[in-house]
Amino acid sequence: MERVLMGADPLDLARVQFALTAGTHFLFVALTLGLATLVALTQTRATVSGSAVHARMVRFWGQLYVINYAVGIVTGLVMEFQFGLNWSGLSRVTGNVFGAPLALETIVAFFVESTFLGLWIFGWDRLNRWVHLALIWVVTLTAYLSAYFVLVANGWLQRPVGFVMVDGVARLDDVGALLANPTALLAFFHVLFGGLLTAGFFMAGVSGFHLLRRTAEVEFFRRSMRIGLLTVMVSVMPVVVFGGMQFQYAQPTKTGGHKAAAAVADFTARFGPDDYRAPVLAGVGEALMMTMWMLMLLVAAVALVKFPFGRWLVRGRVFHVLMIAAVPLPYVAMVAGWVFREVGRQPWMVYGVLKTRDALSPGVGAGTITVSFVAFSVLFAVLFGVNAWLLARFARRGPEGAGLGASPPVEPAAPVMSPTF
């Protein structure tokens, strides 16, 4: 294995390494976005109505959200190291534009979102209930703002706007065009509903697991199942609508036809001969993404039939198994969609501006990238495994095992001894 990696092209190794780390990180992001929203909505219901069961649901699902968020933060930090390690050419040529939204994302995610999340976690039963509710909504909204800034950066790679080239370096000259880039805005709503879809399937799958085991917490998981199914039904169509709207801004070399041929001829004349057509893998990603969406649509149709009947939700053992089996569907769809979006842009790092090979750090050899590739692969495999194990462990425990917001045990006071005379 090591010999194979050492003999590989450094560019291919760097691309596969970034694909591995970015794809894995996004799996954490989607569940974090969706669960944060559902936890915030559930806490709103609990705060307004005083419902005890919804308050317990906040603690249980909030604990799973915090676990996924904490491990996901680590994967995000590791992923960003690669811009300096392997892709310094990207920073050198386009850093003034590409780096601006990423800097805003860092401020939002690490200074605002994490601060308010810490207050939410440790402020349980210590803060006013309305203040505590406001905290989780700040966390949720900043999470979406963070995702938006990341997609602004990625959208610029797909459709560079609002810049001029000065001495071979991109300079930002229109902030409005950068922030309102259609490839970023449409992708944002696509990701927003994709996150809700992921969280909906996750909540319904965990609830189905407990109902299948004939849990004593029937009311708890019946309500959780309804929230999960409602989220799936509400999100499954907007996901494909916002995904489909992005095709009007897709690179011509990705879509094929006369526009693709014209784009290839133009790039050949401007930048020299190269393989400018989208790789076959992009088409595979598109087909797999649509297949997963069709399966999710079928599950949503079944859920729509069963949703009005609470007894069916509790006793439908086949349905419980179906919902457990459906949990991976949005994850597969997200990875496949990401492959279609990113691989289809090749050989460009910034479409029509900077080729991927020119973005690679100079002087980086196969040996250096092999070491980082192995290290990052092992680290991300461990993080992914730990996250899956923690989520499964705490989800299996049920609401009685939720430690989030629980009051510490009170030690019995030592008896007061009477003085003796």
pLDDT in tens, the chain (421 residues): 444 454 567 888 888 888 888 888 888 999 999 999 999 999 999 999 999 999 999 999 999 999 999 888 888 877 777 777 788 888 899 989 998 898 888 888 778 888 999 999 999 888 999 999 999 999 999 999 999 999 999 999 999 999 999 998 999 999 999 999 999 999 999 999 999 999 999 999 999 999 998 888 889 999 999 999 999 999 999 999 999 999 888 888 877 777 888 888 888 988 888 888 888 888 899 999 999 999 999 999 998 888 887 677 788 888 999 999 999 999 999 999 998 888 888 888 999 899 988 988 887 777 778 888 888 888 888 988 999 999 999 999 988 877 776 655 445 544 544 444 3
418: in domain: no
Torsion angle, CA of 292/293/296/297, rounded to 10 degrees? -140
CA 318, CA 211: separation in Å to the nearest integer? 11
Cβ-based neighbour number of residue 12 at 10 Å: 11
333's tokens: 């769809």
Give the chain's count of helices (H) and strands (E): 17, 4
Asked if 374 and 5 count as a contact pair (C-beta separation under 8 A), the reply is yes
**One-letter amino acid of 386:** V
Please report, for residues 11, 68, 111, 144, 406, the alpha-carbon distance to residue 36 in angstroms, rounded to integers and kept in the order given.
Answer: 37, 10, 17, 10, 19
5: in domain: no
CA 55, CA 52: separation in Å to the nearest integer? 5
Tokens 């960003």, located at residue: 80
Q: Return the pLDDT at 405.
A: 66
CA 209, CA 221: separation in Å to the nearest integer? 9
4: in domain: no
Task: Choose among 363, 289, 403, 369: nearest CA to 5.
Answer: 369
Q: Return the pLDDT at 407.
A: 56
Report the domain count for the chain: 1
| DSSP labels, 105-126 | HHIIIIIIIHHHHHHHHHTTTT
Q: Return the pLDDT at 184.
A: 95
171: in domain: yes
Tokens 């990603």, located at residue: 285
- Residue 273, preceding peptide bond in cis (omega within 30° of 0): no
Q: Which domain holds residue 72?
A: 10-368+375-395
146: in domain: yes
74: in domain: yes
Please report, for residues 35, 54, 56, 388, 413, the alpha-carbon distance to residue 410 in angstroms, rounded to integers and kept in the order given.
Answer: 32, 25, 21, 32, 9
Task: Tell how strand 163-166 and strand 169-172 pair up.
Answer: antiparallel
Torsion angle, CA of 213/215/220/223, rounded to 10 degrees? 40
414: in domain: no
Q: Return the pLDDT at 4.
A: 43
Q: Return the pLDDT at 2.
A: 47
Q: Return the pLDDT at 416.
A: 47
154's tokens: 């990625």
Q: Return the pLDDT at 193.
A: 96
Cβ-count burial of 305 within 10 angstroms (0-12 exposed, 13-18 middle, 19+ buried)?
exposed
43: in domain: yes
pTM score of the predicted model: 0.89
